[in-house]
Copies of this chain bind each other. A is one copy, B any other.
Amino acid sequence: MTARRKPAIIETGSLSYGMLPGLLGFHLRRAQVSLFKHFARTVGQVAGITPGLFGMLQVIAANPGLAQSRLAEAMEVERSTIVKVVDQLEARGLIVREPSAVDRRSHCLELTELGRAELARMEQLVLAHEAELAAKLTPEDRQELTRLLIQLAD
């Protein structure tokens, strides 16, 4: 690093955010909060689901017979954290825990018929939500944003 640069400052009303507008994390968080609020309005209120739960359902649906520990690894959370999530989804009748045929410690997660139907409905809502978001960008910019986010996440 060379000389200290003066941080960028933006004004919102009479209020300054200091050096925050010069940080990627600041804009990442703002975009995320905005997107989550939009998701809550357009998908959450209609289908009673959060981005996190929808993600879990997607991974379960895309990997039939997935063990809870594998799901935890995929979502990058602890095994113990998954338990209550699976409890919730099972209580709503969307998934079932099936005993594994090869390992009696394991529970294989599967979507129920209701789960498949509800997920299909959720997917339509999510696609509509995504389309509304994407409308803020050109198709090229949306592609570019995805590429840059993947690059940043490693």
- Identify the A interface with B (CB < 8 A): 1, 4, 6-10, 12, 15-20, 22-36, 39, 51, 55, 58-59, 61-66, 70, 73-74, 76, 98, 108, 110, 123, 126-128, 130-131, 133-134, 136-137, 141-142, 144-146, 148-154
A-B contact pairs, 28 of them (CB 8 A): A1-B98, A1-B128, A6-B108, A8-B64, A10-B65, A10-B66, A15-B66, A15-B70, A18-B61, A20-B55, A20-B58, A24-B35, A24-B145, A24-B146, A24-B149, A25-B51, A25-B130, A28-B32, A28-B149, A30-B149, A30-B150, A33-B153, A35-B152, A133-B152, A137-B148, A141-B148, A144-B144, A145-B145
Cβ of A152 and Cβ of B31 under 8 Å apart?
yes
Label chain A's interface by main secondary structure. Answer: helix
Q: How far is B31's CA from A129's CA once the two chains are assembled, in angstroms?
A: 20
Contact (Cβ within 8 A) B150 A24: no
Identical copies in the complex: 2
B12 and A134 form a contact (CB under 8 A): no
Residues of B within 8 A of A19 (CB): 58, 123, 126
CB-defined contacts of A153 to chain B, threshold 8 Å: 27, 30-31, 33-34
